[in-house]
């Protein structure tokens, strides 16, 4: 059950990274700049980790075209999903904003079956449905109706994160029979490097001067990179160990951490409805633990 513990750690670190990005987006950086900050310092860390891992564990199989395609598609989908998530923070309460992205659990289960041929069991679908019900409770607008713009952003972000999960698992499988951690860090290094270069080009063309502002704020942005690459290392390791649908579904534990951050750091009040939603999410996690065995 190693994937359970790895997923818990990844979700906790990702919550910290989202918290930092929320502050960056409101502290002089654009949405694109706050998104790019994750990759600028994360890429060198990931590459260094991959080099050290390969030096200790030995080489991995030479990647082929499928690996490159999975890396490129997964990286692009994750960047777009992160961009939408950062934009979402400016529309909604921090905890509820992240909850919208959790619609990815259903989407990733479908993508996993269609793209990788990895299906989900009956109990697994039940756990996903229970968790989604909790997420929907958490995603309702404060006055009882759904926020159309936030809903669209959240669903799109969830779908893109779901696709990236599938592509990343596919990439790690292409490096078999290398060890789990070696496959994870090599894939992470390749993905993060591609993302850093792509985002740098985007900002250079679309947001002149933003690259300089991100670098100038290095004392704040570097921590986004550190937490980003640490969280990604956890997710990639979990993907190398388990069906991406189960990993992402269990990853809904992140909403528990997010609610704690929302209340303790941003002083955002949580309603009774949100408490009921979190109870459903926790129930789905317990069922997933049993299913994932």
| Rounded Cα gap, residues 25 and 82, in angstroms | 12
Q: Give the pLDDT score at 147.
A: 62
Domain range holding 159? 2-291
Give the global pTM: 0.79
Report CA 195 to chain centroid distance, whole Å.
14
Give rounded-to-5 percent helix, strand, coil for the chain: 80, 0, 20
Q: Which one-letter DSSP state was computed for residue 41?
A: T
The answer to whether 135 and 285 have CB atoms below 8 angstroms apart is no
Interior angle at CA 21, CA 16 and CA 27, nearest 5 = 130
Q: Give the pLDDT score at 24.
A: 59
| Rounded Cα gap, residues 219 and 231, in angstroms | 20
Structure tokens at 170: 């596919």
DSSP readout, 85-135?
HHHHHTTS-HHHHHHHGGGHHHHHHHHIIIII-----HHHHHHHHHHHHHH
- Enumerate residue ranges in the chain where pLDDT < 50: 144-145
Q: Give the pLDDT score at 222.
A: 80
Q: Give the pLDDT score at 187.
A: 96
| Rounded Cα gap, residues 222 and 225, in angstroms | 5
Q: Is residue 235 left, alpha or beta, with left meaning phi > 0 and alpha meaning psi from -120 to 50?
A: alpha
The answer to whether 239 and 70 have CB atoms below 8 angstroms apart is no
Q: Number of structural domains, the chain?
A: 1
| Rounded Cα gap, residues 104 and 98, in angstroms | 11
Query: Which are the contacts of 194, defined by CB distance < 8 A and separation ≥ 6?
Result: 71, 72, 75
Where b means 16+ CB within 10 Å and e means fewer, 4-22 reads: bebbbbbbbbbbbbbbbbb
User: To which residue do tokens 């069922």 refer?
Assistant: 287
The answer to whether 101 and 258 have CB atoms below 8 angstroms apart is no
Q: Give the pLDDT score at 114.
A: 86
Q: Give the pLDDT score at 144.
A: 46
Question: Per residue in 121-173, pLDDT tens?
Answer: 888 889 888 887 887 776 555 554 456 677 778 788 889 988 999 999 999 99
Q: Give the pLDDT score at 139.
A: 59
Do you find a cis peptide bond into 235, omega within 30 degrees of 0?
no
Question: Per residue in 35-58, pLDDT tens?
Answer: 787 788 889 999 999 999 999 988
């Amino acid at each position: 059950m190693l994937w359970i513990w790895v997923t818990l750690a990844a979700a906790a670190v990702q919550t910290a990274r989202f918290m930092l990005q929320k502050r960056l987006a409101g502290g002089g950086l654009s949405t694109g700049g706050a998104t790019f900050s994750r990759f600028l310092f994360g890429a060198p860390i990931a590459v260094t980790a991959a080099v050290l891992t390969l030096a200790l564990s030995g080489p991995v199989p030479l990647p082929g075209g499928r690996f490159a395609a999975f890396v490129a598609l997964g990286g692009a989908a994750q960047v777009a999903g992160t961009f939408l998530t950062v934009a979402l923070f400016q529309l909604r309460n921090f905890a509820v904003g992240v909850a919208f992205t959790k619609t990815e659990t259903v989407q990733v289960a479908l993508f996993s079956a269609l793209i990788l041929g990895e299906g989900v069991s009956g109990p697994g679908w039940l756990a996903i449905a229970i968790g989604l019900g909790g997420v929907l409770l958490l995603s309702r607008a404060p006055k009882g109706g759904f926020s159309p713009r936030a809903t669209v952003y959240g669903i799109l972000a969830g779908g893109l994160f779901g696709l990236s999960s599938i592509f990343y698992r596919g990439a790690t499988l292409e490096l078999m029979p290398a060890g789990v951690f070696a496959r994870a860090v090599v894939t992470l290094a390749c993905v993060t490097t591609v993302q850093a270069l792509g985002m740098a080009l985007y900002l250079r063309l679309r947001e002149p001067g933003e690259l300089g502002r991100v670098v100038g704020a290095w004392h704040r942005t570097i921590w986004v990179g550190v937490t980003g690459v640490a969280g990604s290392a956890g997710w990639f390791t979990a993907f190398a160990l388990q069906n991406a649908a189960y990993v992402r579904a269990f990853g809904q534990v992140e909403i528990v951490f997010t609610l704690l951050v929302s209340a303790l750091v941003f002083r955002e009040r949580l309603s009774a409805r949100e408490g009921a939603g979190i109870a459903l999410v926790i129930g789905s996690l317990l069922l997933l633990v049993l299913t994932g065995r």
